[in-house]
Amino acid sequence: MSEDTTYDVEAIRREFPLLDREVNGFPLVFLDSAASAQKPIVVIESQREYLSHFHSNIHRGVHALATQATEAFEGAREIIRAHFNATLTSEIIFTSGATDSINLVAGTWGRANLKQNSTVVLTRMEHHSNIVPWQILSDEIGFKIEVVELLSDGSLDMSQFRDKMALSPDLVCFTHVSNTLGTINDVKNLTSLAKAAGAIVLIDGAQSAPHIKVDLLDIGCDFFVASGHKMYGPTGIGFLYGKLDLLESMPPWKGGGEMISSVSFEERTTFNVPPYKFEAGTPHISGAIAFGAAINWLNKVGMEAITMHEHALTRYAHTELLKTPGLKIYGNAKEKAGVVSFLVEGTHPSDLGTLLDQLGIAVRTGHHCTEPLMTKLGIPGTVRASFAAYTTFAEIDVLTAGISRAVKMLN
């Protein structure tokens, strides 16, 4: 193994209480971080601190607790803005996660701007969250959805992508990192090509944000979405980044408190400015605060260090897993994040995953919410091992041995 000795993974693991537990009498080997990452103690404590000592509703209160809670909540918004290099905090909208964020764009910008003769371009590797909202809207409006296919290594077919741009699409949506294949798309180049074609660009960053540094100004996209729980934060919190001029032009999505400027039965109700126009009701206050704590934790460890560690893990996993007879890895793009999806000849992924669980090894099995991709590949699903800042090379060795043991039991 070629482990980076300057990266103290054992010190990092000590910050994650859950990693100490056993499953079925074996030490837990958690290789399902692409679904949801575990939480460091600083994130857990940030929620406890808020709930124990200054819980209050935010923004409109004048008392001390409301002020403290509002400052912490808005402080988290600024942490997100700075981390992703957005221009303004008003371009960061809190949502329940990446799925919620994409639905927000579809329900506001999409419904207001897409017409029957519009074209929306997606890719074969998209998560269902970046497919289904557009299909629902297409059923309502009647626009066409074009799909960019993949090359045999799991990378985008760039020749086909350019052909789709020649159709002058209104909207182009693509994932930054495939949750199934691990492919890292060159989003800056894709954005440039789409913008040159006159399109609005939405990027699904749910799988990139935990693993690589994202610079929104450098990328130049119009919308970007991510989820807190994949970035070591809580579930139920995420954000939508949108360029301010777009957000200002978009109609509200949900009605209620906070998103209004003035409400009247006699006069027309008027709406608040972004981001509040899109944040109706009491938000997930403790989640937002803890999301900010998670990003601070990521920056303490260092995004570049995490990226290098996970890339080394991925290379090692490819080398070791392919020693198993009949094992095939799906997703071999040159630029790849810490996701390894595979099948072993003669075994069903769910059977293999179940036997690995009996050995304390947590992996994900199935189509990973990328059913159109699996259909194209002609497979029912895969076993997916996914890595994080706390994953060790030794855990990959345990996985490799566990697969060999499970395959012998199944054959």
**pLDDT tens, position by position, 273-315:** 999 999 999 999 999 999 999 999 999 999 999 999 999 999 9
Q: Hey, how many other C-beta atoms are within 10 angstroms of the C-beta on 239?
A: 30
The share of the chain scoring above pLDDT 70, in percent, equals: 99
DSSP lists the bridge partners of residue 119 as 144
> How many angstroms separate the most distant Cα atoms in the chain?
75
Mean pLDDT of 313-329: 98
Summary mean pLDDT of the chain: 96
pTM over 0.75: yes
Mean pLDDT of 14-26: 98
Would you place residue 1 in the very low, low, confident or very high pLDDT band (cuts 50, 70, 90)? very low
Residue 2, pLDDT > 80, answer: no
CB atoms within 10 A of CB 264: 9
Distance CA 408, CA 401 (A): 11
136 by DSSP, 3-state: which? helix
Q: What is the pLDDT of residues 69-106, one digit of tens each?
A: 999 999 999 999 999 999 999 999 999 999 999 999 99
173 is known as an active-site residue: no
Ordered DSSP codes for 54-80: I----SS--SHHHHHHHHHHHHHHHHH
What's the whole-number mean pLDDT along residues 120-148?
98
Return the structure tokens found at 409: 């039991």
Q: Which residues pair with 120 in a beta bridge?
A: 145, 171
| Structure confidence by residue, pLDDT tens digits, 173-191 | 999 999 999 999 999 999 9
CA angle 32, 16, 341 (to 5 degrees): 15
Question: What's the confidence (pLDDT) of residue 381?
Answer: 96
Structural domains of the chain sorted by starting position, each given as residue range(s) with its CATH number in brackets: 9-30+303-410 (3.90.1150.10), 44-300 (3.40.640.10)
What is the chain's length? 411
Give me the mean pLDDT over the 365-370 stretch.
96
The band of 258, judged by pLDDT with boundaries at 50, 70 and 90, is confident
Q: Which residue of the set 145, 369, 379, 410 is catalytic?
A: 369
With bands split at pLDDT 50, 70 and 90, how would you rate the model's confidence at 208? very high
Distance (Å, rounded) from C-alpha 224 to C-alpha 101? 9
Q: How far apart are CA 373 and CA 369, in angstroms?
A: 9
Alpha helices, DSSP H only, in 237-377? Answer: 244-249, 285-301, 303-321, 349-358, 371-377
Residue 284 CB: number of other CB atoms within 10 A?
Answer: 20
- 177-215 per-residue burial string, b: 16 or more CB within 10 A, e: under 16: bbbbbbbbbebeebbebbbebebbbbbbbbbbbbbbbbe
